[in-house]
């Protein structure tokens, strides 16, 4: 198991060594409404020039080079030309697309997802996270922490739903209990998911004074994740706008398309209790609070900023991302993740070979 994890790290390092960087540019714009509702500013991004989509980071592969040939890769000069043409120009709203937005809560913690989230949210290594969980388990605060199951017992479901209703209101609890399918390969599910112990979950504020800080933080994370798993979806509406503007200079193209999107949340749902952290994905989407505009309406391009980017090699594994990768490949068991991390850190991350370290 350790050899497979080591191979994953080595293969990632080989990808980094084979990487060749590439440069690309894009534009962020500030627009403003006109007429009776004049002066409401919002952000947008250059999407297309003459129907050719502008390249973003997601259009480059792990080797750093373009992964598709149907996108327009702007250089510094061409981006500057488009910027100069857009600043002070008028843009016409071409489409307004509202779509319902819904987000489900994550499943209760398995050992793997617990270690990943403890690393991201609490900055704990896998071994420190498991040490804190072991302490909580031995003191009777949480259930067994080595598990690959996302299932809660009937007792736990009732307790989670009761906590959600009491703390956040009955309208934040689902009509029927939620169940979560296990996505882990070869999951044995000998134990239920990690959750607060007992048939009534003690609120984190009531236990914080009884525990060391790391254990109190871990308990709160487990409590929030468990309660959130039985709460309602986040609901709202996402609106996507596209606007067109003529370009004065024919060097790059004659017509630019700008895009903006924003999400209005009508019901916070499980986010009242918990919001999962995530690895940085390099998402280039510009989210904005959007004004109410209609197709055919004209808006001002107040400013345009050209930004240069250089593709980056695949990131070295963190403990959290390596555990996730091991789980996806069916490597290791909940009881071995932390020890594998410790062994790798002790051997591969020695002074003799610091470049192999997990970041």
Catalytic residues: 144
Distance CA 293, CA 95 (A): 10
Q: What is the residue-wise DSSP string for 82-141?
A: HHHHHTT-EEEEEEEEEEEEEEPPPPPB-HHHHHHHHHHHS---HHHHHHHHHHHHHTTS
User: In what helix (H) or strand (E) does residue 295 lie, and over which residues does it extend?
Assistant: none
User: In what helix (H) or strand (E) does residue 218 lie, and over which residues does it extend?
Assistant: helix 213-228
Distance CA 68, CA 197 (A): 51
Q: What is the residue-wise DSSP string for 323-349?
A: HHHHHHTT-S-TTTHHHHHHHHHHHTT
Distance CA 297, CA 31 (A): 12
Find, among 32, 99, 54, the residue nearest to 309 by Cα: 54
Say whether 5 sits in a helix, a strand or coil: helix
């Amino acid at each position: 198991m350790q050899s497979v994890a080591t191979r994953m790290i080595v293969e990632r390092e080989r990808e980094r060594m084979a990487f060749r960087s590439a440069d690309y540019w894009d534009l962020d714009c500030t627009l403003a409404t006109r007429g009776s509702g004049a002066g409401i500013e919002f952000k947008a991004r250059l999407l297309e020039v003459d129907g050719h989509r502008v390249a973003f980071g997601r259009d480059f592969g792990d080797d750093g080079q373009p992964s598709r040939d149907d996108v327009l890769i702007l250089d510094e000069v061409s981006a500057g030309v488009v910027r100069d043409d857009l600043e002070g120009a008028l843009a016409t709203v071409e489409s307004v697309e509202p779509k319902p937005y819904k987000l489900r809560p994550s499943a209760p913690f398995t050992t793997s997802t617990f270690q990943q989230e403890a690393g991201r949210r609490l900055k704990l290594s896998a071994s420190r996270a498991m040490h804190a969980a072991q302490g909580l388990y031995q003191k009777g605060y949480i259930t067994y922490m080595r598990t690959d199951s996302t299932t809660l017992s009937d007792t736990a479901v009732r307790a989670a739903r009761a906590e959600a209703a009491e703390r956040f209101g009955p309208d934040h609890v689902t009509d029927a209990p939620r169940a979560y399918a296990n996505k882990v390969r070869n999951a044995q599910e000998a134990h239920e998911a990690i959750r607060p112990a007992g048939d009534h979950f003690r609120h984190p504020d009531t236990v914080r004074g009884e525990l060391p800080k790391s254990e109190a933080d871990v308990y709160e994370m487990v409590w929030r994740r468990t309660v959130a798993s039985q709460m309602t979806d986040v609901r709202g509406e996402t609106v996507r706008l596209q606007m067109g503007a003529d370009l004065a200079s024919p060097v790059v193209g004659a017509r630019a398309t700008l895009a903006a999107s924003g999400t209005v949340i009508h019901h916070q749902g499980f986010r009242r209790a918990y919001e999962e952290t995530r690895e940085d994905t390099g998402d280039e989407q510009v989210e904005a609070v959007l004004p109410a505009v209609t197709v055919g309406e004209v808006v001002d391009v107040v400013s345009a900023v050209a930004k240069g980017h250089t593709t980056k090699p695949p990131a070295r594994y963190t403990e959290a991302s390596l555990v996730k990768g091991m789980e996806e490949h069916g490597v290791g068991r909940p009881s071995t993740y932390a020890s594998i991390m410790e062994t790798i850190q002790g051997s591969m991350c020695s002074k003799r070979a610091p470049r192999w370290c997990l970041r």
